[in-house]
């Protein structure tokens, strides 16, 4: 199972989390976010890594030129689109970044929101399902209603996000079968400052479940 820890801002924490066993690190390229990092900051974190992991830049309603520039400058391996990006946008981005994984995040407000998942599946590599918040795009700590996802069995990879913590991760994974999980606020002291003890506990519990 892929385990993505998002909102990394510090080189030492990024390296420690990778060494603990996370398979992906997420970097927020949304200037309004309290976890925002520049491409130069991402690069300094990436260059400090002693373990190979996926390096995912998170964008929201950015233009293609800016995304491509940050991917190149920061040496990213994936792009996560967390805004209202259209299928047409995803298609165009694929043309510019043919070797980069494209992840489309969808905020699930009602069971009907999952219809979007089928729509995007043919145009991106991976989906990410997050909790809906009327003002914030992500990192809210709000838990998805997992019951709405019990019949969600797509043919493509997907991350479960939204209010996951070391305390509730086993309950979530007993109900659902995502190919990956994505955590940010659930393993933090405050936005951008990760709690390594919580990350270690999370990874220990995921490994226990997968035994």
In the chain, the domains with their CATH numbers are 2-210 (3.20.20.70)
The helix/strand count (H/E) of the chain reads as 7, 10
Active-site position among 54, 90, 130, 182? 130
pLDDT value of position 115: 81
Please give the model's pTM, rounded to 2 decimal places.
0.93
6 is a catalytic site residue: yes
Q: What is the pLDDT along the chain (211 residues), one digit of tens a residue?
A: 999 999 999 999 999 999 999 999 999 999 999 999 999 999 999 999 999 999 999 999 999 999 999 999 999 999 999 999 999 999 999 999 999 999 999 988 666 668 888 889 889 999 999 875 444 444 455 677 888 888 888 888 999 999 999 999 999 999 999 999 999 999 999 999 999 999 999 999 999 887 7
Active-site position among 6, 54, 90, 182? 6
């Amino acid at each position: 199972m892929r385990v993505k820890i998002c909102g990394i801002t510090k080189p030492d924490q990024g390296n420690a989390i990778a060494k603990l066993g996370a398979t992906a690190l997420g970097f927020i390229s949304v200037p309004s976010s309290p976890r925002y990092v520049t491409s130069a900051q991402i690069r300094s974190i990436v260059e400090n890594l002693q373990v190979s992991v996926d390096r995912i830049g998170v964008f929201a309603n950015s233009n293609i030129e800016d995304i491509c520039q940050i991917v190149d400058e920061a040496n990213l391996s994936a792009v996560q689109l967390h805004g209202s990006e259209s299928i047409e946008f995803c298609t165009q981005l694929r043309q510019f970044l043919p070797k980069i994984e494209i992840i489309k995040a969808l905020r699930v407000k009602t069971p009907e929101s999952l219809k979007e998942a089928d729509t995007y599946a043919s145009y991106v590599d991976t989906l990410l399902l997050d909790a809906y918040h009327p003002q914030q795009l992500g990192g809210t700590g709000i838990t998805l209603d997992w019951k709405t996802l019990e019949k969600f069995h797509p043919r493509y990879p997907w991350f479960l996000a939204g209010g996951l913590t070391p305390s509730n991760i086993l309950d979530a994974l007993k109900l659902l079968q995502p190919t990956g999980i994505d955590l940010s606020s659930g393993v933090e002291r405050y936005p951008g400052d990760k709690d390594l003890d919580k990350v270690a506990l999370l990874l220990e519990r995921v490994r226990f479940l997968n035994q």
